Amino acid sequence: MKSTSMLKPSLWFGLLLILFTMAFIQKQEDTNPLLAEWTGPYGGVPAFDKMDVAALKPALEKGMELNLAEIDAITSNTEAPTFENTIIPLEKAGDELGRVFTYYGIWSSNLSSPEFRAVQAEMAPKLSAFFSKINQNEALFERVKVVYENSKKDPLPADQQRVVDLTYEGFAMNGAELDGEAKERYAAINQELAKLHTAFANNVLHDEESYVTYISEDQLSGLPESFVKASAKAAADRGHEGEYAITNTRSSMDPFLTYSDERELREKVWRTYYSRGDNGDEYDNNDIIVKILQLRNERVQLLGYENYATWRLQDRMAKTPENALKLMNDVWPAAIARVEEEVADMQAIADQNGDGITIEPWDYRYYAEKVRKAKYDLDSDEVKQYLQLDKLTDALFFTAGELFNFEFTPVPEGSVPVFHEDVKVWEVTDKDSGEHIGLWYLDPYARPGKRSGAWATTYRSHTTFDGKETVLASNNSNFVKGAPGEAILISWDDAETLFHEFGHALHFLSSNVKYPTLNGGVRDYTEFQSQLLERWLSTDKVIDQFLVHYKTGEVMPDELIQKIKNASTFNQGFATTEYLASSIMDMKYHMMDPTDLDVDSFEREELNKIHMPDEIVMRHRSTQFGHIFSGEGYAAGYYGYLWADVLTSDAAEAFANAPGGFYDKEMAERCVKYLFAPRNSIDPAEAYRLFRGRDASIDALMRDRGFPVPSAD
């Protein structure tokens, strides 16, 4: 064998080049800002100012490589499996990849671009294959299984037992016990689904960005001044100076349909919005839905389940699709009966005005507003004058202070990186001790590349098993940004949504669990905490301090407050029916055989079977139902909002009947202790019983919506 000293100069050069290249690649990986450990104040924060799409793919690839190496270290351990040598390192694994996913989520939801979507399309199946390598790792599952089985003979401390149970069930539900070809097919299906979920979401985003209705000054009749100003800015931002843009998002569509006197334009905007993903072009989602449902069905049959819904609900509060359907079917008759009353009231006003029309879906919001004025003398636009986004943000902080003892302080500008100039950041501390709890990020405005709707997420969750981690939580909305210096006025519904999403953030911030797995949640329970927080919007303390007129600064008058309370059950037929229609269709899709599915026909026929009113459509029509087709988070689970609302109404009555009402200190402490802080460390049903002293019943929900309460029989 030759020594290196005898190598020819050319070979020396080649070797040096290889070594240099390897070092360069390693250096690039080491310095990739998306992989780097978070530094700076507050326990380290994401480097949002260093985001570069070009770094995303290598960061994901390196993150997966590092995570798999951690898994290999667990499985190569020759000692008998224990909680300490198997579950603990599994809880610790994936930190680098988790940091990359934080940036990935921002690009996906807040800053989508053609460059990102190209990376997303390429990496989605690779990420799916990566997760399959972990979920179907036989050696890893065997170690987890040994710990699980041993814990049944010799139980662990409660929180450790919960982690072991959830970990084992997660593996079992995701094909860990499959063999050979079945396991390979399971992984292949996941990769195909990842591509389809991504394509579905991007098709909807395309239609939201590409379809904008521009109107002229003579077509503004009925529209509020604040909406007109925001629409003018939206048009100018898109190069249509002098026109007014109705964007293809709910935050723009909804107020336009509520106030515009131009019926033909209302129909156009309505059809544009509800046709997203259903335009018969390359961005059409009908075929994608069929493929998704077929693959999901095939996958759960590999596991021995009759249908996707049965598989999905086994670890939810509802337990079975039949239980979920029973709840929906219990509420549905009262909802559509109320719709019939609402339509009759609207038609009467249209006839009285001599409008010569029959109420259609694009008329519902418009005439409902007229009925509201006639029945309750309540003008939604008058209410909006008291709903300023900045003041409502202060109301969120006040509520958090009263219930959770949190204080929110703006961080010095520039001290924490943000991914867009509109994003603001607050530090959250304990009001009494000053202890740092975390940071709260707010991204409030709609813009191209940002998905529609409102949502909450965490960049870092609270844990204590490996050193205390403080929380980095965020809320994201799509309010239409006004001109500089103009107050941002929002509807009562949007204000409730603001409180709702903040409820998720408070759930993150109040977490008091040791292990990362326990920061998860059961889907038909985790909406409960956020829905409960909505109730504080209409409390006297919030109204008196924060619902003030944007021009005069005067507090909302008692007369208007009483009108709002009198109308609290108004239009519940519409709100409940459009939501329930989507929930029922979600469950139907995931209980049926999708072999020869025609999406349009199935949607129409199933809605006809349950007597869907002609004047209303599903809140999310199938081709734009991102909750269930752009991923699996809510698939066979959209009913969860109603399930959680049963808990919400019941818990709200507990607060209302307490000596101190919604600000009763004992109730607030019990709420935080049993409903917010535990996250998923105890069974949700047990957590609710600890708070309430009993299970929830449907009665409070029916009272809340002004529906007849079912008889005891």
- Confidence label for 147 from pLDDT (cuts 50, 70 and 90): very high
147 or 710: which leads in pLDDT:
147
d(CA 88, CA 72): 14
Give yes or no for residue 21 having a pLDDT over 70.
no
Q: What is the reported pLDDT for 271?
A: 98
Report the C-alpha dihedral over residues 203, 205, 207, 210, rounded to 10 degrees: -130
Identify whether the C-beta of residue 491 lies closer than 8 Å to the C-beta of residue 384. yes
Helix axes 492-509, 523-533, angle to 10 degrees: 120
Select from 451, 457, 476 the least CA-distant residue to 120: 451
Q: Percentage of the chain with pLDDT > 90?
A: 91
338's enclosing H/E stretch is helix 321-352
Instruction: Read off the pLDDT of each residue in 608-627 and give the average, rounded to a whole number.
Output: 97
- Confidence label for 523 from pLDDT (cuts 50, 70 and 90): confident
> End-to-end CA distance of the chain, in Å?
92
Amino acid, single-letter form, for residue 713: D
Q: What is the reported pLDDT for 712?
A: 60
Helix (H, G, I), strand (E, B) or coil at 213: strand
Could you tell me the two tokens for 202? 């991007």
Q: Percentage of the chain with pLDDT > 70?
A: 95
DSSP annotation of 590: T
Report pLDDT digits (tens) over 262-319: 999 999 999 999 999 999 999 999 999 999 999 999 999 999 999 999 999 999 999 9
Place of tokens 């004025």: 373
Instruction: Read off the pLDDT of each residue in 484-502 and give the average, rounded to a whole number.
Output: 94
pTM, 2 dp? 0.87
Give yes or no for residue 6 having a pLDDT over 80.
no
Report pLDDT digits (tens) over 131-143: 999 999 999 999 9
d(CA 285, CA 342): 33
d(CA 623, CA 606): 15
- According to DSSP, the residues that pair with 548 across neighbouring strands are 555
CA-to-CA dists, residue 90 to 73, 95, 136, 163, 518, angstroms = 10, 11, 14, 11, 13
Apex CA 219: angle with CA 213 and CA 222, to 5°? 110
Please classify residue 63 by burial: count the beta carbons closer than 10 Å to its beta carbon, then call 0-12 exposed, 13-18 middle and 19+ buried. buried
DSSP annotation of 358: -
Could you tell me the two tokens for 323? 């239980």
- Confidence label for 13 from pLDDT (cuts 50, 70 and 90): very low
Report pLDDT digits (tens) over 154-204: 999 999 999 999 999 999 999 999 998 999 999 999 999 999 999 999 999
Task: Give the dihedral sign, CA 661/667/672/678.
Answer: negative
Instruction: Read off the pLDDT of each residue in 46-70 and give the average, rounded to a whole number.
Output: 98
- What does the mean pLDDT of the chain come to? 93
Q: Which residues touch 370 (CB under 8 Å, ≥6 apart)?
A: 346, 349
Give yes or no for residue 408 having a pLDDT over 80.
yes
d(CA 62, CA 99): 12
Catalogue the active-site residues: 501
Give yes or no for residue 24 having a pLDDT over 70.
no
Give yes or no for residue 447 having a pLDDT over 80.
yes
Select from 681, 679, 683, 651 the least CA-distant residue to 664: 651
Could you tell me the two tokens for 45? 């924060």
Identify whether the C-beta of residue 257 lies closer than 8 Å to the C-beta of residue 553. no
Cα radius of gyration rounded to whole Å, the chain: 27
Could you tell me the two tokens for 99? 């940091």
Select from 655, 620, 669, 665 the least CA-distant residue to 641: 620
437's enclosing H/E stretch is strand 436-445
Task: Give the dihedral sign, CA 533/537/541/542.
Answer: positive
308's enclosing H/E stretch is helix 308-313
Q: Which domains does the chain have, with CATH numbers?
A: 211-274 (no CATH), 379-566+655-713 (1.10.1370.40)
Report the C-alpha dihedral over residues 687, 688, 691, 692, rounded to 10 degrees: -150
Helix (H, G, I), strand (E, B) or coil at 630: coil
- According to DSSP, the residues that pair with 473 across neighbouring strands are 440, 458
Helix (H, G, I), strand (E, B) or coil at 140: helix
Identify whether the C-beta of residue 51 lies closer than 8 Å to the C-beta of residue 99. no
Q: Counting every residue, how long is the chain?
A: 713
How far is C-alpha 183 from the geometric centre of its chain's CA atoms?
A: 31
Identify whether the C-beta of residue 53 lies closer than 8 Å to the C-beta of residue 83. no
Instruction: Read off the pLDDT of each residue in 649-674 and give the average, rounded to a whole number.
Output: 97
- Confidence label for 14 from pLDDT (cuts 50, 70 and 90): very low
Amino acid, single-letter form, for residue 540: D
Please classify residue 643 by burial: count the beta carbons closer than 10 Å to its beta carbon, then call 0-12 exposed, 13-18 middle and 19+ buried. buried
d(CA 664, CA 482): 38
Amino acid, single-letter form, for residue 472: L
Instruction: Read off the pLDDT of each residue in 578-599 and give the average, rounded to a whole number.
Output: 97
Residue 520, phi then psi, degrees to nearest 5: -75, -160
Lowest mean pLDDT among 299-308, 516-525, 683-692: 516-525
Q: What is the reported pLDDT for 189?
A: 96
d(CA 265, CA 274): 14
d(CA 679, CA 159): 11
- Confidence label for 520 from pLDDT (cuts 50, 70 and 90): confident
Select from 389, 368, 390 the least CA-distant residue to 379: 368
- Helix locations, 44-87, DSSP H: 56-75
Place of tokens 């994936």: 94
Q: What is the reported pLDDT for 30?
A: 57
